[in-house]
Every structure is written in C-alpha cells, then in structure tokens.
Structure 1
Amino acid sequence: MITDALIDPFGRKIDYLRISVTDKCDFRCTYCMDEDVTFLSREQVLSLEEIVHVAKTFIRMGTKHIRITGGEPLVRKNVLWALEQIANTEGLEELTITTNGSQLYKMAQSLYDIGVSRINISLDTLKADRFFALTRKDKFQQVIKGIEAASKLPFKRLKINSVMMKNHNDDELYDLTKFALDHNMDISFIEEMPLGVITDHNRAETYLSSDDVIDALSQYYTLTPSDIKTGGPTRYYHVAGSSHKVGVISPHSHNFCDTCNRVRLTVEGRLLLCLGNEHSKDLKSVIRSSMQNDALDSSKELENAIIEALALKPQQHHFNLDEAPQILRFMSATGG
C-alpha cells in the first residue's frame, strides 16, 4: 500500500475523496440547479465498476475517508452494490453518503447493513410549502419518513445539512436545530456557494454568514467551540445538555482552504482538485485503460495520473458574491 503518495504542492495530505456517482437528482433545489437542467448521457458517465476501481485505487494510496454524493446518489440503479464494494475495502476507515433523504425510507436499513458509517441528509426547512418552493418537488413527508427510519438505526453518525438563506429560511434556525437534536443527530449550517448561474434569487442578497447563524442560535443554546474534526470543513460547537453538535461550513466568512484534505471525482471521471476553482484532470481514459490492462489489484497508470493531478491543486478558492459566478458548473455536477 502507498501511504504518502497523496500530498499536494502545499504539503497537505489528501486522505478524503468525494465521489459523485450521478449528476441526476429527483429534486431541483433553487440554490443548486435551474428547474430545467440537462443531465449527462449514460455514455458520458463512469460505470459503477469504474467508480469502485477508482475508490479502491485511492484507498490503496492512503485515502481513509470516502463520501458518496451526487446529484442524488441513491437514485442510481445498483448503487448499493458499489457502496458495499467500497465499504469493505481494507484500509478505508469510513464510508459516508450525502443524500436529500428521498430514498431513505426504503434504503436506510440496506445502507447500514452494507457498511455505510455516516449519513448526511440535506434538509433546509421543516415547512412543507417552503420545502416545495425550495426543492420544486412535493416530497417533504417522504424525506421526514426517511429521516425517521435512519434515526432508528445505529449508524456511527447522522447529520442534517442545511443551506441557510436570508429571508428564505433563516427563521427556522432554531426549529431545524431542535429537530436534529431531538432525532439524535448533528446539524451543519452551510453558507450558499456561488456555483452555477441560477435565476431564482440573488445570492448576495440572501447571503447569511456562519457567524450570524451562531449568534442567532446562541439565544437558545449554550454553544462552545469544539476541536472535533470529521475529515471535512465543518467547524463544530458543543451544545450544552446534548451529546450532539451544531456545525457551520463557511466558504465565504471563514476560508477553510489551509486544512483542505479533499479532492472530488465527478461522475464523468474528472478529478476536481478544488470546489471553488476549475483545476481538474480528466481521468476517464486512464481509468478505462487501467481496468483493461491491469485488473483491479494493480493500476500504476491510474496511480501516476492521480499523483500528477495533485500538482494542480490550488492553495485556496476565491468566492465573490458581488460578481457573476466564475464557476459555471452546478453543485449537482460537482458532488457535494
């Protein structure tokens, strides 16, 4: 096993891979994509076998944490097979999945059984009418049913992720936090990221900083900064009287690039080195060549391509809400 191969030009050890298994989603969240969006064709995306091959290669090179994302990952046919293959690869410490929750009511038990450690569930409101306005889909009760199902299982950790927008859902900070804590879950509040051109709202006008979130919640809870790290960019706060935590993800107000340990594999096989930049390397041809020539247990060609790609990883991203988006890909195409 290669253990020190994944080091970027700034000395950061890359031990966390996020893999998008599909760009498709059964929601159309207003901050994530336009209502009318064209998805990739089947020929353009990696097969599940190819995705598993890349995951195993990264694990062999020292990756400890893998998060499966989309789009909505649970809408991809046979995704449970791929998740089980990855979860049971020697050397991986944790397999996490990020989901909109729409499929959890029927898949939560299977996810636990095959070895998924943690689930992050996107939920931005507890109001059914607002949920429809934000997601453009009438699936609120289906998502709540899924959260209830997952919360009854002994996952290592469950968390709600909420993108907070001023004058859209910022009046629900307390309600969402209480909902998460009551269900023995953590919650993270996320500053909206300027990825893709949207028409539903002006991101500068709806921007809500993480500091504003913590100030608002401090009226209800005693919050103490925590030094707990889970591999991602979340800054956590202990909640007095609870074993669960409130977190914030702050790409604008508290740039987290100095500790970035992540890269992303898009569903079409592009290794994205930074969420907020276009630095990337297309690995699709290398992935397919390595599978044909080396079999699953040996892939020097792919390993070398990954190492070369890390040289492209920038030191940090630059988001500016007062300018038109410089990153034209939607979050659904990036992988959360």
Structure 2
Amino acid sequence: MNASASFKNRLRVTSVTDHMEASELNAPVLQDKFGRRLHYLRLSITDICNFRCNYCLPDGYQCKTEALPLTVSEIQTLTTAFAALGTRKVRITGGEPAIRRDLPQIISACAQTEGIRKAALTTNGYNLRKHIDAWAQAGLSALNVSVDSLDPQRFHAITGHDRLHAVLGGVDRALELGGLQVKLNSVLLRDYNGDQLTPFLEWVKDKPVAVRFIELMQTGDNAVFFRANHISGAEIAERLEQQGWTLVPKDIDAGPAQEYQHPDYRGRIGLIMPYSKDFCATCNRLRVSSQGKLHLCLFAEAGVNLRDHLRNGDVVGTVAAIRRAVEGKLPGHSLHEGFTGAMSHLAMLGG
C-alpha cells in the first residue's frame, strides 16, 4: 500500500456517528483504485431551474420525476457519512438551488457537519442580492455565480432572462459582506460569447473575483448546439500566457479549473477544459443527485441509490455503500467519443 493509501483519517464526526466502529472512523481517506483521493462532494438539491440557458434547458425545465428531493435530514446524514470518509468540501448545486426555500437550512446542515471545512454554492444569481446575507449567515464560505456574458443583450439571449444587472448587483453584495470566496462561471459559446475575454479581463482588473471559462460539454440533448458552439479552452490559455498570466497551484479541495493570475489584476481567470488531455487524472470529487443517487462521474451511465440509507439516518450503511461504489470509478470519461452517459442536460447534476 502506498503512502497516500495508508494515510489515516482521524476525523471525529457528529454525534450521529458515535456508534460507528473505530475501524470506520480511522479508515483511509476515500480513494479510488487509481489512487485519486476524493475530498470533494458536489451535491445537487434540485434538478429544477428557472433559467432557459440555450446550452442546457433551451425549452425550460421539463418535469421528469415525481420523487421529492433530499430533505435536510437526509442531507445531514449524507454529509456526515462523506465527512467520515475524508470529504472536506461540499458544493451545493442544482438545477437552481435557490428554488428551494430551505436553502439556508441546507447550507447550515453542510457547514455545521464536523469535518466539512467549506460549504460552497453554485447559483444563477436570479435573487442573489435578496438572499446572500441569509446564506452567508447560514455558513456559506464560497459562492459561484453563472454569468455567461457581461453584455446584457447577450446574457438575455443565452439565459432567456434580462437580469444581468440584478445578478451582478448580487455579486457586488457578496463581495461587500467579506469572507466569501466569489467566482463567476461562464460557459464558452462560439456564437454568443466567444469574443468576450477582454470584457471579463477588464471586469476582474479591480475585483477579487475569479472568472472561470468552462468548455461547453456535449449532453444527450445538445449535440447539434455543441457542434456549432464548442470552443477549446486551450485557445484562451494561449492568449492569457501571451499576456503574462501564470498558472496558480491548486488547493487540495479545488475543482477542475486551471487558474491564472497576473500581477496587474486583483482577480483571476480560470479554465475548465474537460476535453483536454489527462483532465480526469486529478479528479477529486463525487456527485450526489437531488434524488440521493451517487454518481462517480458527471457522465456516468447510472447512479448508485443511497436514499434508503439516508431516509433511515443510517450513516454506517451510507459509508459502506459509498466505499463499494467508488471501487467502480473509471479512469476517465469518454466525451471525446461522444459518450454522454445518462446526462441528458447539465441541470441534472449541477454541471
């Protein structure tokens, strides 16, 4: 067994797990058979979204399930189990998480789980300014806001909503609060924002915000749109390097973005390039759907149902199920071959 595999997790978890055996609590940090250590959970709490982004839900959300999403209690059991396995960061995603009125309680449940060091949220920012204070008070430590263009007309064309000013107002309020790590997500779309690097660079000149450009990914529903609009992030990386931007070392619980910094800018630029070579080699995350299914990859064929354990408050059973499932994590996705697994649209698992 290598050094990383023998690393022991000494985490004390909440009283829910007081009955767990010492062998469970002192087990190695969750690691797959390729040696990748999994510190990061992306938790979808709803697949409903109120935006109609042309790359995800151009016709709006179409209800395909009658099952209710995970409750706060089930989420508490889930995060406790993941914390016992060495997870340190939980990102709450959707759909649009703010659709749920109990979002502050969900944030609090994640943030207060012993062992979880960072409770993060990804949102479209529709009502960000109205709710960000409550989210911060609940324990939110990191915020990602989807902003695909800084031009109001283009933003409207992409999202179906004329709310750029309101969204950016919410971002400003998040920065005013202090203590929140704030990032913007922008999906690269050749016909809609492919020429928008310069406006974003100007925007981060004096703002302590990272803007991450995300390569458009093919899903089961967007094949034609994908072929027309996919841009390689490598094109932007080359331009950044020519302008003096340099790569920043990643934190252990960081997502897949390669972040660049420049001495003349307060903000940073990140690139998420799922079609790049060895993209999956440093994967450190697992995903759970709003219905309680564990997905080993965004583009996995199917999920492993954890809900019976979660409904019963069964932390031990949840831990065991996660461990068994991780043994089947593959070395990488097959996006290059056009395989999209069970992913019909990005709102299913938070992208």
Task: Give the TM-score, by structure 1 length.
Answer: 0.90
Secondary structure of the residue that 1:287 maps to in structure 2?
helix
> Within 1, Cα distance between the matches of 2:341 and 2:165?
36
Matched, 1:37 2:53: no
> Within 2, Cα distance between the matches of 1:184 and 1:280?
37
Equivalence for 2:17 = none
Alignment of 1:100-249 (within 5 A): 100-198=124-222, 202-218=225-241, 221-229=243-251, 230-249=253-272
Equivalence for 1:13 = 37
> Within 1, Cα distance between the matches of 2:45 and 2:341?
24
User: Alpha-carbon deviation of 1:48?
Assistant: 2.4
> Within 2, Cα distance between the matches of 1:37 and 1:196?
15
Q: What is the identity, as a one-letter code, of the residue corresponding to 1:6?
A: L
> Within 2, Cα distance between the matches of 1:211 and 1:224?
14
Equivalence for 2:283 = 260
Correspondence for 1:306 among 310, 322, 328: 322
* CA distance 1:251–1:208, shift in 2 (3 Å): same
Q: What is the identity, as a one-letter code, of the residue corresponding to 2:250?
A: I
Alignment of 1:23-62 (within 5 A): 23-41=47-65, 43-62=67-86
Secondary structure of the residue that 2:90 maps to in structure 1?
strand
Secondary structure of the residue that 2:67 maps to in structure 1?
helix
CA contact (8 A) 2:50 2:60 kept: no
CA contact (8 A) 1:191 1:250 kept: yes
CA contact (8 A) 2:212 2:271 kept: yes
User: Alpha-carbon deviation of 1:29?
Assistant: 0.8
> Within 2, Cα distance between the matches of 1:98 and 1:26?
14
User: Alpha-carbon deviation of 1:36?
Assistant: 4.0
**Per-residue displacement from partner, 1:267-319 (whole Å, max 9, x unpaired)?**
01110001132253111122223x2xx5xxxx211111111111121110111
Aligned residues: 326
Q: What is the identity, as a one-letter code, of the residue corresponding to 1:228?
A: K
> Within 2, Cα distance between the matches of 1:208 and 1:38?
28
Q: Pick which of 63-72 and 101-110 moved more.
A: 101-110
* CA distance 1:242–1:260, shift in 2 (3 Å): same
Equivalence for 1:330 = 345
* CA distance 1:318–1:41, shift in 2 (3 Å): closer
CA contact (8 A) 1:33 1:196 kept: no
Matched, 1:315 2:331: yes
Q: Pick which of 301-310 and 149-158 moved more.
A: 149-158
CA contact (8 A) 2:93 2:349 kept: no
User: Alpha-carbon deviation of 1:138?
Assistant: 2.4
User: Alpha-carbon deviation of 1:41?
Assistant: 4.8
User: Alpha-carbon deviation of 1:240?
Assistant: 2.4
* CA distance 1:58–1:326, shift in 2 (3 Å): closer
> Within 1, Cα distance between the matches of 2:328 and 2:283?
14
Secondary structure of the residue that 1:271 maps to in structure 2?
strand
> Within 2, Cα distance between the matches of 1:90 and 1:271?
21
CA contact (8 A) 2:41 2:285 kept: yes
Equivalence for 1:275 = 298
> Within 2, Cα distance between the matches of 1:89 and 1:326?
32
Q: What is the identity, as a one-letter code, of the residue corresponding to 1:226?
A: V
> Within 2, Cα distance between the matches of 1:11 and 1:304?
19
**Per-residue displacement from partner, 1:238-262 (whole Å, max 9, x unpaired)?**
1122343211101012442111110
User: Alpha-carbon deviation of 1:181?
Assistant: 3.8
* CA distance 1:81–1:181, shift in 2 (3 Å): farther
Q: Pick which of 326-335 and 117-126 moved more.
A: 326-335
Q: What is the identity, as a one-letter code, of the residue corresponding to 2:190?
A: K
Structure 2, unpaired ranges of 5+: 1-10, 12-24
User: Alpha-carbon deviation of 1:326?
Assistant: 4.8
Q: Pick which of 116-125 and 312-321 moved more.
A: 312-321
**Cα-Cα RMSD:** 2.0
CA contact (8 A) 1:21 1:48 kept: no
Secondary structure of the residue that 1:246 maps to in structure 2?
strand
* CA distance 1:4–1:279, shift in 2 (3 Å): farther
Task: Give the TM-score, by structure 2 length.
Answer: 0.87
Identity of aligned residues (%): 32
CA contact (8 A) 2:184 2:210 kept: yes
User: Alpha-carbon deviation of 1:87?
Assistant: 0.5
Q: Pick which of 323-332 and 147-156 moved more.
A: 323-332
> Within 1, Cα distance between the matches of 2:222 and 2:140?
33
Equivalence for 1:251 = 274
User: Alpha-carbon deviation of 1:18?
Assistant: 0.5
